[in-house]
Amino acid sequence: MQINTNTSTWAFPGGGTAAAAADSSVSRGDTLVGGNTSTAAQPGVLLAQADTHNPSASSQNGNNGTPAQSANTTPFWGAGTVPAPNALTALRQAERDRTDPLRLGVNEVYRDAITLASDRTGYPRATIAAVISAEAGPLRGKRLDEATNQRFYGELHPQLDPKAKLGKADAAEWKAVRSELSATWDPQSYNTTSKAGGLTQFLESTWIESATKPGSYVNQQAKSLGLVNDANQVVDRAGLLDLRFDATTSIVAAAELDKGYFTQLSARTKDDGTPLVPADLPADQKAQYIYLVHHEGAGGAAQILKGTLTDARAEGLLQNHVADADKRQAMIDAREGSAAKAYTAYLWQYIEQRIVPANFR
């Protein structure tokens, strides 16, 4: 996905505004965390503890407090381990949609998972959807073809033989369905460089950290599957890392982790004592700060906001995300030779363009 070069309006540490980096690009699904900026490097994560399980599904919980799993059939790309249907009335569901609207289009299969994440963190569902959208890679290639065939033959035209050649009109419709589904989030998203995986692009170390935090959703799921023992020690590392590709677990785990990091960041101040995160932020702007900590961790986000990111560290970050050396140098040159300013502008530009909760209401 190419990012355009519209001028950013974010306040730039040290004065001025963070204009868009020249000729920069970033791919959906690329993690903006790398090297020593890994979220796993940030100590003292405070996972959300407001709810230990989905309150609307409490009657379905097992003995260990882990939501029971749904037996509902979902598309092959799946919504993951979505909790079993709860006892909410249609009236209460309608009220939730009125007060916390959510519009997902072709990603409707993830509604229950996003709602669960919202229940556990208190974050608006549209905020959570925006973070997922900025992280997850779309269905593509063979997986996109399989999804298209499932929709076209399984739902729209079950009378047609998948092995038979399509007529002109049917072939055009198949292509239209494929085009529509190309915006579907792929829970198998994987970054071969950083090894970040799943809808919310967890690094291996961060996932293990979250899975061994008592009370977290991923900890509950991992224990129920025998991947983590009662002492919160990893029993099956490979199986635990594969759990990143369960859509519901990935979505809820990210929301909980983000809330912990955002809480840490909100407690930090600038040198003059003013808070790094302005008080009473509008929900949509708060979502952008939430995404900042999602990628940078509380410590990395603090460096961005305080303007203390060093050029040496920023050069490594830019190299992780902009492969073309000439483009990287052009970005640095456009920022008075400062790699830190170039990376900061690059990051805010991506956040502004991709974290737009209004797109999901």
| Model confidence pLDDT, tens digit, residues 156-209 | 999 999 999 999 999 999 999 999 999 999 999 998 888 999 999 999 999 999
What are the tokens at 165?
């050649």
Instruction: Tell me if residue 253 falls in helix, strand or coil.
Output: helix
Query: Which of 39-70 are b and which e, b meaning 16 or more Cβ less than 10 Å from the residue's Cβ?
Result: bbbbeebbbbeeebbbebbeebbeeeebbebb
Strand partners, 228: 234
Nearest to 260 by CA among 67, 129, 114, 120: 120
Nearest to 136, CA basis, from 34, 31, 53, 56: 31
254 falls within a domain: yes
Q: Are residues 6 and 108 in the same domain?
A: yes
Per residue in 23-66, pLDDT tens? 333 334 443 343 333 333 332 222 232 232 232 333 333 333 33
95: pLDDT confidence band, cut at 50, 70 and 90?
confident
**1, pLDDT greater than 80:** no
Residues 169 and 257 in one domain: no
Same domain, 157 and 42: no
pLDDT at 94: 84
Q: What share of the chain is helix, strand, coil (3-state, %, to 5)?
A: 50, 5, 45
Asked, for residue 186, whether it belongs to a domain, the answer is no
Query: What domain count does the chain have?
Result: 2
CA-CA distance, 292 to 302, in Å (whole number)?
10
Q: Are residues 280 and 308 in the same domain?
A: yes
Higher pLDDT, 341 or 87: 341
Q: Identify the domain containing residue 233 by its residue range.
A: 1-138+194-361
Q: Are residues 286 and 310 in the same domain?
A: yes
Instruction: Report residue 12's pLDDT band, with 50, 70 and 90 as the boundaries.
Output: very low
